[in-house]
Amino acid sequence: MSGEDSVSLRPFNRHDARTLGLSALGGALEFYDFVVFVFFAKALGALFFPPGTEPWLAQLQVYGIFAAGYVARPLGGIVMAHFGDRLGRKRMFTLSVFMMSVPTLLIGLLPTYAQVGVLAPLLLLAMRLVQGIAVGGEVPGAWVFVAEHVPRRRVGIACATLTAGLTAGILIGSLLAAWINTSYTPDEVRAGIWRVPFVLGGVFGFIAVWLRRWLEETPVFVEMRERKLLARQLPVKQVLAAHRPAVLLSMLASWQLTAAIVVIVLLTPTLVQTSFGIGAATAFHGNSVATLALIAGCLAAGWAVDRFGVGRALLAGSLGLGVSAYALYGALVSGHHDQFVAWYALAGFCCGVTGVTPALMVAAFPPEVRFSGLSFSYNVAYAVFGGLTPPMIAWLSTSWGPMAPAHYVAFTCLVGMGVALQWLRQPVSR
């Protein structure tokens, strides 16, 4: 009997709950560090690029630096996953959060363009790249870590709980951004208040490092190590040689995930300000409500995975996300700005389909190469699709108008439905 089989036979217990709680809390603090950047894109664009730059160009440039964090994710993911499959899940799980906290703190201390000229955006880019490397190992490692700690019939809710924790990090950033934009004028924010969220993020990261010292290595990895079942070759090489169908489905599912998170959750607060004239405070208030709904949506998706299976949960969730994206942006185009928060909350809940994706990827790869398979698929997809999404949405909006974000999300939902149908037809065996 394999380590994974022995874990699957026991009931969910208090130790599992403690592991999920600590992992989700640490993930929330780290993911806050990664996403808070986008909530202050306007201030960063004004401060880190030459004075007189057109606002749209400055925003596009800072989105490019934001996207660079996604481009760097595969490097961190592949390296950390390699050692995660060879040396242990916990070590990489702790290292990634430390690597995130340092650059986040430093961003809050960086000089601006007015102080050091062109060096300012270069330093900002360097810090963002390190953040990308860190999160590239964090998110896949976290999903694998919690999935291998719980019985197999609870993998859906375990991965969804971790995803909800990561989402809580977005909520913390959104709430802080809403409070700052309500309490301070744009000039005051640019004068120095913008630094506060990044300094806090560094502190949050060090707290997450401390929390993870209480976690234990996964029983699946421990048994594989004792029975000498660990990958003997380069794990990612084995993945590409023997698990290509799993890689393809995982990457396509991750594409939909990037659309939900990047477009609906991260970009919408800025897009509704520039395209529909909604005030910053209202935009971030709506984002906070939507992100809270997303947490509930993730947990609902995890329950659906354990109850109905990956394929059915992904199919229903993809349909719901596409419809809700059109409802949100359609209401804004029609001038129903007073309904913004309500429709945004619905779209946020439907973004909970992202909670299905990690369960799909965990099921798609065998334990000995699971970290590498999941990390490679997820991070490469996020680097390509997540990294290109902000500038792509800005470009598409010039030809498709303000409905461009909804059209893009709906297209990825069709992709997600295709993945679900393929999974139902012939599930990828682990």
Query: What pLDDT, on a 0 to 100 scale, did the predictor assign at position 173?
Result: 83
- The backbone region for 231, taken as left when phi is positive above 0, alpha when psi lies in -120 to 50, beta otherwise, is beta
Structure confidence by residue, pLDDT tens digits, 21-49: 777 877 787 778 877 887 787 788 888 88
* pLDDT tier for residue 193 given thresholds of 50, 70 and 90: very high
**What gap in Å lies between CA 288 and CA 176, rounded to an integer?**
10
The pLDDT assigned to 233 comes to 62
Nearest to 4 by CA among 141, 146, 152, 145: 152
pLDDT digits (tens, 9 = 90+) for 288-331: 899 999 999 999 999 999 999 999 999 999 999 999 999 999 99
In CATH, what number does 9-425 get? 1.20.1250.20
Q: Taking a C-beta distance cutoff of 8 angstroms, is the pair 380, 251 a contact?
A: yes
* Per-residue pLDDT tens digits for 118-170: 899 899 999 988 888 887 777 888 888 888 878 888 899 999 998 998 888 88
Residue given tokens 């598409």 in the structure block: 396
pLDDT at 88 over 70: no
Residue 333 has φ and ψ, to the nearest 5°, of -60, -35
What is residue 35's predicted lDDT score, i.e. its pLDDT?
77
Domain ranges in the chain are: 9-425
380-402 in b/e form (b: 16+ CB < 10 A) is bbbbbbbbbbbebbbebbeeeeb
Between 270 and 292, name the one with better pLDDT: 292
User: Are the beta carbons of 48 and 124 closer than 8 angstroms?
Assistant: yes
